[in-house]
Chain A
Amino acid sequence: MYSNGYIFRFAIIMVVIVAAILSGAAMVLKPFQERNATNEKMQTILEAAEVSATAENAQEQYSKYIATELVVDMEGNIIGQYQDGKMVSGEQRAFDVKLKEQLKNLQDFKNGKDVQVLLPIYIFDDGSRKLNIIPMQGKGLWGPIYGTIALEGDLNTVYGAVFSHKGETPGLGAEIATKDFQQQFKDKTIFDQNGNFVSVKVVKGGVANSNINPAHGVDAISGGTITSDGVTDMLKNTFELYVPYFDKQQ
């Protein structure tokens, strides 16, 4: 029979070996995983501007089109500008801003703590048009949802929108990641005629059957109400933060 001492020794040795193997693998694979994540982020940003890039040429396309990255604060001041591969002013590069951290900072800020919320903006420029691309994160039904919205030069009209999610229901909430849903956002405006901020709403039952101005609404996904509402909240909560910056730019 095995003694208690043997059982403990066996368990300890096994756990140490397994831990060593796993941390070794994590260290070896990390650069590959990080590169995938970076490429994906670049692809998403470009996709919002309707430039399709593959994982292979994402870096190249990104540096070609996204010449400027800005970080603004909640008062609308530019506190970081990254241009042509180097920091022009400030210290924080927009690409390195982690939305999750900023959402936490925002929560702390609302609770009265003195923290700064960093808001990234990517400026897309292909010579003929200039787009302001804003990344965002919100809550779906099962987990986080992500959005990347390109606004035209007027900082009002949506040029393109890309959504993704961590684990929404396939066929229902997960439909936010499809072209059909995302195309609806094109040419919607986030300010009304009087210049008041209204955001874009995802409307259950369809925009046509509601009293919402079609310029500020898109059709929701049947069976995906909570995810659809999550998109509405994410758009509103994020754009709201950028309003001071938009106002200063007008």
Chain B
Amino acid sequence: MSEEVKKREPLFSAKNRKLLTTPLGKNNPITVQVLGICSALAVTVKLEPAFVMAISVVAVLAIGNVVISLLRNMIPPRIRIIVQLVVIAALVILVDQVLKAFAYDVSKQLSVFVGLIITNCIIMGRFEAFAMANKPWPSFLDGLGNAAGYGLILIIVAFFRELLGSGTVWGYPLFEKLGIYSVGYENNGLMILPPMALITVGIIIWVQRYKNRELIED
């Protein structure tokens, strides 16, 4: 009995904390692993949908990681990808239905992109790389961390795209209130288009690697 207690590591041991924090910075799924770019381009025109998207991915990835981790010893390896896909699809449909019922306006803005969480490479990547080989609690933290890392970048990108593309922050007309338009400033329509999200992500990657030299591969 006492031996078993000794074997157990505390819930927030250094190792577990790391699972949660490294994806936010050093091992960010978007800027370092360069995964999940597709949806980062699509939903970052405005802050609000980006935020809801981030929350949805957190829910899907954290719960999905736990489910896969619980099933990890039962899943036949030959059909594991399909099993993972079914778990993701089920969770995504649930999220979509819940949004439709309780956050109707936002769900309309996100439209197909909630469904496209299914194709988000981060999710399957974490299922396959982490949850299939780890216990539920670390898997949960890993899912939370990776989804939060993804969401963080999404929100940063959305902030700049909304500010420069529409002159607003979370729908609040900041530039108009500051009177920037009266001195001849105009919104940059290019920021609304997907390519600028790629460039924004590129700039974030550049800044991050400039600050953290160990990320630079030669």
Instruction: Scan residues 131-167 of chain A and give those whose CB is less than 8 A from a CB of chain B.
Output: 166-167
Which residues does chain B contribute within 8 Å of A33, judged by CB atoms?
97, 100-101, 104
How many chain B residues sit at the interface, stated as a range, is 20 to 34
Asked whether any CB of chain B lies closer than 8 Å to the CB of A55, the reply is: yes
Closest to A2 in B: B76
Pick the residue among B77, B86, B193 that contacts A2 (CB under 8 A). Answer: B77
A39 to chain B, nearest CB (A): 8
Task: Assess whether A10 is in contact with B101, with CB atoms less than 8 Å apart.
Answer: no
Task: Assess whether A26 is in contact with B76, with CB atoms less than 8 Å apart.
Answer: no
Chain A: interface secondary structure? helix
Task: Assess whether B76 is in contact with A10, with CB atoms less than 8 Å apart.
Answer: yes
Which residues does chain B contribute within 8 Å of A167, judged by CB atoms?
111-112
Task: Assess whether B100 is in contact with A22, with CB atoms less than 8 Å apart.
Answer: no
Asked whether any CB of chain B lies closer than 8 Å to the CB of A90, the reply is: no
Pick the residue among A7, A14, A32, A40 that contacts B78 (CB under 8 A). Answer: A7
Which residues does chain A contribute within 8 Å of B102, judged by CB atoms?
32
Asked whether any CB of chain B lies closer than 8 Å to the CB of A11, the reply is: yes
Distance A6 CA – B93 CA, assembled complex (angstroms): 27
Distance A10 CA – B79 CA, assembled complex (angstroms): 10
Instruction: Scan residues 1-43 of chain A and give those whose CB is less than 8 A from a CB of chain B.
Output: 2, 6-7, 10-11, 14-15, 18, 21-22, 25-26, 29, 32-33, 36, 40
Chain A to chain B contacts (Cβ below 8 Å), 15 pairs = A2-B76, A2-B78, A10-B79, A11-B79, A14-B86, A22-B94, A25-B97, A25-B98, A29-B101, A33-B97, A33-B100, A36-B101, A167-B111, A170-B45, A171-B45
List of 10 A-B pairs having minimum Cβ-Cβ separation, nearest first? A171-B192, A32-B101, A2-B76, A36-B104, A29-B101, A18-B90, A7-B76, A33-B100, A33-B101, A29-B97
Which residues of A are in contact with B by a Cβ distance under 8 Å?
2, 6-7, 10-11, 14-15, 18, 21-22, 25-26, 29, 32-33, 36, 40, 55, 166-167, 170-171
